[in-house]
Amino acid sequence: MPPAIAEATPGRAAAWWGKLHGFGPVVGLALLCVAGTLLNAEFATIDNGLNVLTRTAFIGIIAVGMCFVIISGGIDLSVGSMAALIAGCVILVMNHAAGTIGSPVLVVGLGMLVALVLGPLFGLAHGLLITKGRIEPFIVTLGTLGIFRAYLTYFANGGAITLGNELADVYSPVYYGSLLGVPFPVWVFAVVALAGGFVLNRTAYGRYVQAIGSNEQVARYAAVDVDKFKIITYMLLGLCVGIATLLYVPRLGSASPTTGLLWELEAIAAVIVGGTALKGGAGSVTGTVVGAVLLSVISNILNLTSIISVYLNAAVQGFVIIIVAFLQRGRR
């Protein structure tokens, strides 16, 4: 065999293996759906499918933002606590504004605006501490995890912050309403995922994020403003948390110290199950979306079949993270 062909063959094999590896989450999701249908006929109904997608929307939207952070080589452990604090602040602002603003629709709009502003602000704080403060992302977000939840507990005086009844009625269609038979949270999830995929794959910013995660030092030598793009990445994740929160608030109409508990675990699990490398540099929004749906399907199957206790859902997700991280240990 000529040397050129001998060198090309391993390269083609690696490329094919890479493509097959990329289809892994999709194959896993398909097998889970088959298993779920065999175990319980209710699983394959349209209502159950929409229910799974609606419940996936919160974590899926956050996971899209988390995908950018992990690809850039970072991590954020505070998204659950951040969502809880944003939800509490949104409800407090709306309840206070209801006494001065006559229109409940304007009050709800103000609350949604607060969610979309607070998320990027918290992300900006993370980005500045990580880039300008030279503190590891793990330490920064572990600290804010405690800070966010402590402030929510303080504002709620240890209990729950509840939205007023009239505002709850006006706000509820944001979660319970639908368009063409599809719930609004699913539409928002789809738009966020499409936008995220476009930004990651079709813009210079997306290429810079992947370059920074692949080799930050080389990116600096290539004149990439690493600090600026890292800050933008954390602000983008904060915006995703804000969007997820404004969809979550009308679901229960309250925020308590248990709101958003373990959302960070679910978001990180969705990203790495979707094929994104934990060390950064490579990943996809499509894989993240599949990963988020896959985890929800696991939870849904456990609920429908009672194979194991629903209280062990978090344990299942933890095992999934460890197994996937083990399989990724040789990847860049």
CB atoms within 10 A of CB 131: 17
Reported as a pLDDT band with limits 50, 70 and 90, residue 12 is low
Tell me which DSSP letter residue 45 carries: S
CATH topology of domain 44-330: ABC transporter involved in vitamin B12 uptake, BtuC (1.10.3470)
Reported as a pLDDT band with limits 50, 70 and 90, residue 15 is low
pTM (predicted TM-score): 0.88
Q: Percentage of the chain with pLDDT > 70?
A: 90
Please name the helix (run of DSSP H) or strand (run of DSSP E) that holds residue 170, with its range, or none: helix 165-171
Rounded Cα distance between 314 and 299, Å, is 9
Q: What is residue 328's predicted lDDT score, i.e. its pLDDT?
A: 62
Mean pLDDT of the chain: 86
Rounded Cα distance between 185 and 165, Å, is 22
- Picking from 102, 130, 94, 96, the residue whose alpha carbon sits closest to that of residue 238 is 130
Angle CA(18)–CA(23)–CA(27) in degrees, nearest 5? Answer: 145
